[in-house]
């Protein structure tokens, strides 16, 4: 077996992404043990990381993804400290009886890991400004030549010019009837999903949280589910105009659900084949849950509710301000019953050797008291139902070795139903009220209310409260928090795009019209040239360029489909 060389032992060696070096000088005349853990793991004992020989220097390669909490053992625990190391920096720490807790000092300056991201943002802003200025100049030139040349035309040419300028009152196309802000919102979600699924430049905030908390990547799936719910409200009204039978509508949506599940299983099978390079592992390791499976089931539940109980809006008298809710009170009762059931299972289901209502990852969490309790009730149910046919990553950067837990498992799918229906509620507001101010005000109120409820559940913290924020568990506080942001973002987009028309939605609107095609396509082509490639010595700059290129290429593909009015859906 090839021996791994510690790059910290070579001052000229190149460190990898999110890596730094720490030289610990042990001036004691006895060996010490160095303990460390990421500060992200608040209820964790330090993990023995290295043995520090007496009167010697030990060079450690450490990760800079999160602040590091560390101390050393000399019969007792000494010098508990937390330090935020920066990428490619080289640091020193002196341990001695004379100065037990010396400060960590800098040996070589770190690199600016965020410079590539800042440069990319500036380039994007400059590009947008240049494009907008170019459009203004182009329109001015066309305007000038159109009217300056009119004086040189004869009567016939003037007549021909007038005929050319006569346009139909409404130019109806397949895409012109779509709500632009809806496609734009969906486009933001899918392009962000493509970016983070391909690596997100290897930045921590563009990757999913370790367990608790919220990152940009954590917003992608709930936003996609939320806007799917909004489109359910719109599409159901259209289906009722063309199809009188509710049974036919449900069967049609059931067929779509099965197709989405099948596509999801195909994507999962491709991952298994890619990882194991052998057909003997194919069925044995096939993961049953997945993103498309979660979306399909939550879609079907909400679309059945809408199909069965949707009716023509009726006047509710002095309660007309709540018309969108009161006209759909049956659906809301069922959804709240689903949420209550999910909550009761989470807090009351007995899990062997685990506390009730546990939301943690197990492993190092809670001082290793609940090592085999990963995911609490949700994890227990998934492991019982799916066995090995679920997400098999049991190594967590922060919490160490954990049990199998599927982020798109059964309990999380039930949570997703609530997200989808909050999107349906947003669609009801879009359909029930005609004044733009009424719609936007209600979306903002929903954003405020869901945000406040989420805040009380998690104690306005990302890791505390009765129900902490966790994408891995799809907790109720996470659902409400992400939905709060969704209501707010959609209100802004609707105001800018559909009401004031300050913004066309480009380029996101292109991706939003073919979101499922882009989702499936980016998984099939992941890691394949020309969508992506690998570098021997990757850096944040290189990874950011590759991931942005992948996203831009899919944006261009969606633009071509949009211009040709091709909409690929299930």
| DSSP code for 7 | G
| DSSP code for 200 | G
Bridge-based pairing state of the strands 19-26 and 90-95: parallel
Q: Which residue has the tokens 């359909």?
A: 431
Tokens of 343: 């909550």
Report the candidate in 189, 172, 274, 233 with the shortest Cα–Cα distance to residue 432.
Answer: 233
**Which alpha helices (H) appear in 392-507, and where do they start and end?**
410-432, 436-457, 476-493
For 518-555, give one letter per residue: b (16+ CB within 10 A) or e.
Answer: bbbbbbeebeeeebbeeeeeebbbbbbebbbebbebbb
Tokens of 101: 């807790």
Residue 469 three-state SS: coil
Bridge-based pairing state of the strands 90-95 and 76-83: unpaired
Angle at 77 between CA 72 and CA 83, to 5 degrees: 55
Rounded CA separation 447/437 (Å): 15
| DSSP code for 464 | -
Rounded CA separation 256/262 (Å): 10
Tokens of 336: 């709240």
Rounded CA separation 559/157 (Å): 36
Rounded CA separation 394/366 (Å): 18
Tokens of 254: 């059931």
Q: Which of 88, 208, 389, 428 is catalytic?
A: 208
Cα separation values, 519 from 34, 221, 292, 548, 551, Å: 45, 12, 9, 16, 11
Rounded CA separation 219/471 (Å): 9
Rounded CA separation 76/348 (Å): 40
Rounded CA separation 336/325 (Å): 13
Active-site residue, 88 included: no
Those residues with Cβ within 8 angstroms of residue 53's Cβ, 6 or more apart along the chain or in another chain: 26, 31
Any idea which residues carry the catalytic annotation?
A: 208
């Amino acid at each position: 077996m090839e021996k791994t060389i510690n790059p910290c032992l070579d001052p000229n060696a190149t460190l990898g992404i999110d890596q730094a070096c720490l030289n610990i000088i042990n001036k004691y005349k006895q060996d010490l043990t160095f303990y460390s853990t990421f500060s992200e793991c608040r209820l964790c004992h330090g993990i023995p990381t290295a043995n520090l020989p007496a009167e010697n220097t030990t060079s450690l390669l450490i990760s800079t993804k999160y602040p590091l909490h560390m101390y050393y053992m000399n019969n007792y625990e000494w010098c508990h400290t937390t330090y935020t190391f920066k990428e490619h920096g080289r640091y020193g720490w002196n341990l001695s009886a004379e100065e037990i807790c010396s400060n960590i000092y800098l040996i070589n300056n770190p690199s600016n890991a965020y410079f590539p991201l800042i440069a990319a943002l500036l380039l994007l802003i400059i590009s947008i400004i240049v494009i907008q200025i170019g459009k203004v100049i182009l329109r001015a030139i066309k305007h000038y030549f159109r009217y300056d040349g009119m004086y040189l035309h004869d009567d016939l040419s003037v007549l021909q010019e007038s005929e050319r300028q006569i346009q139909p009152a409404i130019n109806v196309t397949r895409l012109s009837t779509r709500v632009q802000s809806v496609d734009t919102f969906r486009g933001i979600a899918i392009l962000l999903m493509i970016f983070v699924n391909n690596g997100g430049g290897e930045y921590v905030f563009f990757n999913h949280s370790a367990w608790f908390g919220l990152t940009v990547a954590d917003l992608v799936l709930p936003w996609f589910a939320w806007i799917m719910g909004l489109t359910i409200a719109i599409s159901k009204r259209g289906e009722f105009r063309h199809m009188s039978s509710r049974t036919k509508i449900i069967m049609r949506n059931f067929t779509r659900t099965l197709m989405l599940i099948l596509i999801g299983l195909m994507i999962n099978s491709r991952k298994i084949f890619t990882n194991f390079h052998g057909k003997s592992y194919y069925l044995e390791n096939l993961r049953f849950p997945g993103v498309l499976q979660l979306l399909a089931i939550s879609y079907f539940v909400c679309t059945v509710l809408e199909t069965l109980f949707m009716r023509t809006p009726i006047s509710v008298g002095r309660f007309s301000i709540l018309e969108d809710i009161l006209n759909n009170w049956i659906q809301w009762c069922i959804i709240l019953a689903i949420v209550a059931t999910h909550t009761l299972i989470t807090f009351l289901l007995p899990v062997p050797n685990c506390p009730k209502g546990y939301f943690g990852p197990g492993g190092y969490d809670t001082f290793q008291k609940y090592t085999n309790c990963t995911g609490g009730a949700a994890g227990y149910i998934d492991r019982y139902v799916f066995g090995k046919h679920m997400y098999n990553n049991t190594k967590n950067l922060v919490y160490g070795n954990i049990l199998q837990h599927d982020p798109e498992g059964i309990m999380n799918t039930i949570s997703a139903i609530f997200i989808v229906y909050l999107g349906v509620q947003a669609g009801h507001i879009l359909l029930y009220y005609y004044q733009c101010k009424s719609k936007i005000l209600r979306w903002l109120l929903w954003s405020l209310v869901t945000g406040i409820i989420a805040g009380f559940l998690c104690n306005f913290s990302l890791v505390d409260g009765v129900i902490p924020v966790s994408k891995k568990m799809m907790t109720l506080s996470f659902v409400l928090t992400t939905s709060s942001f969704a209501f707010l973002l959609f209100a802004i987009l609707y105001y800018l795009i559909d009401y004031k028309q300050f913004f066309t939605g480009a380029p996101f609107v292109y991706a939003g019209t073919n979101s499922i095609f882009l989702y499936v396509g980016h998984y099939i082509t992941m890691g394949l040239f020309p969508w992506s490639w690998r570098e021997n010595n990757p850096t944040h700059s290189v990874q950011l360029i590759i991931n942005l290129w992948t996203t831009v290429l899919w944006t261009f593909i969606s633009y071509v489909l949009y211009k040709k009015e091709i909409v690929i859906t299930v």
